[in-house]
Chain A
């Protein structure tokens, strides 16, 4: 089965966009990742990843109206496409299968 490879960071970004729902744009995505992972993420890294995901068809974007909050600046909002959701599902499923396939003693060793 031909599938698009989803890198680790890509997966994180994609998930974050999904989490943020309608409020996902460059700044919120960056901040959300920083908060959730506790690691400092460069805007450029996030931005490039968003761009790449859009090119791969996992994300779609749309220019949002200027809001007073941003001083009339414009935002590009991202939403997860059907393909993106499918990719996320697949990744999750693979992980779950892998977890399920783990021998019980190993599971115990990991403190699960």
Chain B
């Protein structure tokens, strides 16, 4: 899997170089001599990066002032009116592919990626270890066994029913907190992971599987109740409100690491980062809609300063040195070599899974007691 990602990145970078040559001349100055305003719509988890004065300064050096609105990646792909924007920057390749096709864009940029991870707390991790869901990978990080989790969730297990649980005797169900799968990419990536497991350890690749698998994994989304629209919100809740609201939350690794790298004290002792097994990589992919949008994509991919800044926000880039340096410097709990990485379904099948779950939200017909692993 890792090798195929490396190849994909190399191909993308190759494409980028061509674009870079075409757009290479710096003519971004506005009429009044100030920077040109460029507005994009992005997944919320990248907003802190774009708001950073250093990032803004780096763009300004190239004559650009980048402004962003945030929206869920699926909203960006389907609902958001893109006409006023210079670029769309959803958080995954499938959503970007859809926009690329819809808008007839030739070249897209994948300047950085981040594996899906789980933010939790030591007492919760201990409980999950006791229940057989969490184990040491032997590679310096802990993994969360998705297959075992789906079994546990299918039984409707509650926290207070876990054996020996005095640390977190909550009456609510053991459920990973996610965003709303109908709007947000991080939940869609979680769906990519869980659908792979529920499909008998295989990427969902036909419509028959889509229907079956969607029904079997739907409860882990619907039973959560109200889910927030975009990825920044539940992670904020995790940081600010702690385990009472969010005992464990599906995030991009970058969200957690950026806080560790910033050393702002928001990652408190007792907070833990786990990697689901299997996991998927979320490839943040910029679809340019104007020439200025292309320039933003090009700079994010090529400019060493912006690449280093991206690493500070926890993103992995084509140049691993900056990221690895920060991990070493902060003793961050980042996995150096994730082995159990799977591919998300194509846009069409991922969208099929989401639409099926969407219909279950609407109808209220949630299959409560079906085993998510029952589909083979």
Partners in one complex: no
Q: List chain A positions with a Cβ less than 8 A from chain B.
A: none
Q: List chain B positions with a Cβ less than 8 A from chain A.
A: none
